[in-house]
Structure 1
Amino acid sequence: MDGTKLYFFLGLYGIAIVCGVHCSIRVELQTPTKTGTSTTLHENTYGQTTLAIVRCVDDSNITVTGCRCNLNRTGQVDGVFDVWIFPSQNGTDHGYKAYFLGTAKATSSLKYDKVKSYTLQIFCVTSSGGNGETASANLEVDILPNQQPLIPEYPTVTTTPINASSNTLVGRIVYQVNATDPENDALRYSMTQIPDDNFLTIGASDGIIRTAVDTRKIPTDSIVCTVSVTDGKNTVNDFSVTIKFKNINTRPEITYLPHSISVKEDAIVGLLLTTLTLRDTTPQPNNTVLETYCVVEPAAESSKFTYKSETQQLKLWAPLDFEKTDKYLITCTVFDGFLSSEGDVLTVHVINVNEAPVFSATTYFCTLSESRSGVSTCHLGLTVTDPDQDAIPTLKLLPGNSSERFRYDRTADTLTFDVDYDVDKMPTKATITIHAMDNHGANSTAKIEVSIQDANDNTCDFGLTRAAQATVNQSSVPGTLISLSASDGDLTSPNNAVTYEMVSCLPKEGENYISVFGSGEIKYINLIPETEHGKSYIVKVRCKDGGTPPRSATPTVQISYLTTPTTTTTTTSTTTTTTPTTTIPTTATEKSVWDIESFVAVFSLLMVLTLALILLGVWYFCCKTGRMAWCMHKHQQPMYDPYPYSQRTYQ
């Protein structure tokens, strides 16, 4: 309370004390409808409104002039109500009124659900000749709540049946809700319906119920609508409107469904599951053709079934697998252009059948290199599973087609030879069969394509049992002495491709006369001096194949140089020397001592020692006879030399 108000009420009480019993006034309240101490105010009121006229009267009910009145602005009334002076017609005898202040907006500050009644305490005070008297009165303001809308047909109404087969257009009016509001508030309409298929709609502002679909799509003869009407504060939400129909369209149906069947999981593809029988009790005009389709659950396996509308047959279209899916729901629907059938389901139960083990592939591939048993291996990447989770005790190679030459290791998943395999004598390819069987006897097979590669496992062979020999003499001309040929038992090149080369020649100077070519030819390339009569040359030749790593053999060839005697025939005119030709044998002979390297070495050493002894004897003889100037003997007179030193020449 501000200072002015405080002073005003202190003045009123002061005047009352001074006035004592000499003054007697009272406060009279006149409401718009009656004189009394109460009035009403609707909670929707938002503008400034007069509640009562305030008068000061004496005991004789005569208006006392000069009264001043005000409102005790405490509690909930402050800011909501007030008492104001209003001028009188004579300009001196002013009166007072109690007001509801209202709000500047079109919304009320009154809330019935919060404050249902207010009590206004009004004080009046008068002064006469310095004496004053005060009086007060209470004005009760009762708040009237907002009234809910009124519906004459409430709580329920049923319409006259509407012909669903005629005037079937969308938007046909079937009923209008006639609601009013006591306060003339704007009304809003909403609706729910059973069945909840949105066959009908209601206008939100006009309350008109209309069809939302062609009435031939409505399969029921009644729709129960629950309408709600609100004025923004109060709502009527349980007005029931039953819309009736006649001559309604009925749903087509499949007479055989719903139904259940059982099918073994090994049933053949193309098995006929059922033939549908269709029926429509309310056929549509223009001979509308019934449309039929089927949906499979689970949808991911829809491809396992097929439906042909021409024959109305439903068939199995792919193999079944009990372990993956043991039940299918096939919902078939027939449509007459407006309505579809409902609940036509074929339930397919899959019966478990013991299935054979399944290999991870139909054919496996393996490449081996010829080798001894168990040496060369290949990893197949073979796995076999049983759809029924049964044990698979048997996994082996079936007899036949050379399978006995191979062995499968189930633990390591490897294939290897069970024999010493030689592609020079055995096939380079084989197709073998591996067999799996579960503990119930179901079995299956897969193929293994085996390729066997040629390995370099053979050494070239000259086929010689002793050293090859050849002989040349002083009349031999350069050319081929021997053509060596070695064979290699390997099947393919380069393993069986043989080349030749010289390893060594003893004595080494023989390399000047003899050469070995890659083709295997041993050639006499330069003439051997006659001084080498009786000498033999031991040539070592290596044959080598092209495999990895290469394999080789080294035979020995003995070449002897022998001179032949010369026969001279003398005639009167000429002398002819005939040298018999010695044929060089090119075939192998029996091995002699000259083929033994140790013998040749010892023999050579003895020959050197013999030559040294001969030279020593000659030197001794010369010294004894004085034929050599540098021998150790007594001094001799120098011989006469007719030529000076400068004229000597040496050859």
Structure 2
Amino acid sequence: MKNRHVLLNTLYILSYLNISLAVPVIDNRPIVFNLFEGTVKKTELGCITCTPTTPGQPYDIKIQDVSPAIPCGPRCFGLWNKNPAPTLDFCMYFIPRQGAPLSYQTTQKYTITIVCGDDTADKATTIVDIHLIPNQPPRFPSSFDRGDISNTKSLTAGTTILLANAQDADVTTNDDVLSYFMTATPDQGLFEIGQSDGQIRLKQDTRQVCSITSPTILDITVRDNANVVDTKKTELHFADVPEPPSITNINKVIFVSESTPILTAIQTLTPSTTVSYNYEAAPSRYNSYFTINANVLELSKQLNYEEETFINLTIYTQDGFCVGSNWLGISVDNVNDPPTLTTATTIFVENEGMVNFDPGFVAIDEDRGDRLVYSFLSASSVFAINPNTGRIRSLGNLDLDILNVQSQDYILDVQVSDGVASAVSQIRVTIKDINDNRPVIVGASGYSYLRMDCNDTELLGTMVAFDNDRGINGMFGFTGGNSGPLTVTKDGRTFMVGNPPTGGYFVQVSAVDHGTDPGPLTSTTQATVSLVVLPCPVPTTEFTTEVTTPLFTGETSPILPIPDGQMSFFSRPENIPWLIAAGILGLLLLLLVFYVIYRLCCARELPAFPKKPVTTPPPGRNQSKAKGKNGQKRTSSTQRNGELKEKQQNKGNNEKLNSDRPRPPNQQDHPSRGRVINHFPDAPPHAPPANPPPRPPDDTRTMTPYKLDNEPILNDLYKPRTDNNNPYEFWRGSTDDNIVSSRQIKVSPKY
């Protein structure tokens, strides 16, 4: 370093003696600048002049090295031309915040090597010394002050109540800048200090605060540019402090029932002076539940114990300067809340029969723990309701066919109660008629017939059935078929084809109604229609050559004897009585089997029905007894014609006898209750009854189940009839499809 200074001085002397070495020359050496330790802004330290080898030739000066490099170093100093070209004026600058702050204790001097060069090969080099001037710390005159503030009520925002007067010599000599900071205990947000002037001022009017704590401790700090710090404490004592207005009769808990109506006064307020009010509620959702009018706290919305049991109100009072606060606790008293009862629909349509449905009631009771019970507002003799679920069921089978109506409406007032209060909802239940009764074949075991193979085509009989449904649901037909000469039509007529082959024929017949809702129903029990055909007896003991007229033709043909060797078992006259006896015995056994089945399976479901007399086969005939009135022998044709005439004569006598028979005085003029009247166009003609029984009128009584008189009575409201009237009537008519049936049943109430 010393040799470098010698070299530089030598160059300076040579340049002074005008000894030109063709090297630029840096003027005004040695170059020394002073820098204040507390400098915190960009500062120009001084300018450096360089003389080039040729006057007027451009040159450039640069910093080659800065020592020491820390804590500030090359980043804190700069050298550049401060004038626009071509004017050259290179100056040294201090650049703050590019490195660590200047510290006199760390570094007292910075040495900067600069180089000046032009277009020549050689350059001039010199040293710039920068000496730091130490910073003087700021000082308060004392470490503690006391401030007394009088007439506090009249102080306004911005009023200066105290001055923090720190002293610092560097402020005037080195442009040092002082900064003030302050904290207050307790911190009421009332005071502030000017950072540059140290004045302590009010942030707001004291008469609006009314809560100044006296004394208030202020901790004040002053700093200069070098962050040298001094502190002191100041006590502020306030006199004539304004007091906030208050409410003298609250800061307590009151009890308000949840049933209290709105606009009810729940508390009268007594303020210390004339004030205006405001309040806050906790929970905050109750901010709109209260109003204060003329010192009276009123309820503006209905309270609910189930939502909130306690509400706290903070009531603020303001007299124009100060704001005070008081609290009021509101305890909500619980009362019984009536339940509510709703349902998605009030109209229900159910099928007849045993009704059981859920109306979907929604019962709500805000009271916790209340048990809700369903019931009818008025007792019902038709329906019952589940007290826990509200499900409704019928007390018995609702049969619209007995009432002879298509539908029946019931109005039910359903209430739900919590034991104290109740709610009512009215619903309408419509019971509609459906196909709920299967057809029943009457006397299912009694359709058996015995005929000879010589009989003509004949209507053997008509099957009888009934269906307790009404309308189309009560219409039915028979399904079966045919077996050989035996045929059963859909209207129940049973035919035999003429001259049937001998043997036994059976047809299983069911009754199927025409119901549409839910659909056709078939009788549970089938009826067996049987036909036993026996051979007609043939005369074998006599031979006649008498010419007779055959039946239906008018021609005569002789009956020739059959040789014994050519006669079969059935052709022998002596076997005919045995065949007849065997046929009768088999028929009786068959009827006995049907009767046992009927008694076991159907006796409790079907009413008694008069049996049709069984046609007894004609007694065996022989040739020795076949004579006319004049003692002449009769042929088979003659004998058959005589028997037919005898049957017609007996039928006329029986009808006359029945017409002359006296009737009981109370018996109405109608056909026998077991009699069937046919009105079918293809049926054999029968005379219709003179006075058909009328259909029963609508029953206006409640739809308590009815039972047939000959069945077990399970309902104690009814008993069997005690008069002589038969409780059963079968009614048969005709429609376009030739099938219709309904039934009239008489019942009597039990008193």
TM-score, normalised relative to structure 2:
0.41
Structure with the larger strand share: 1
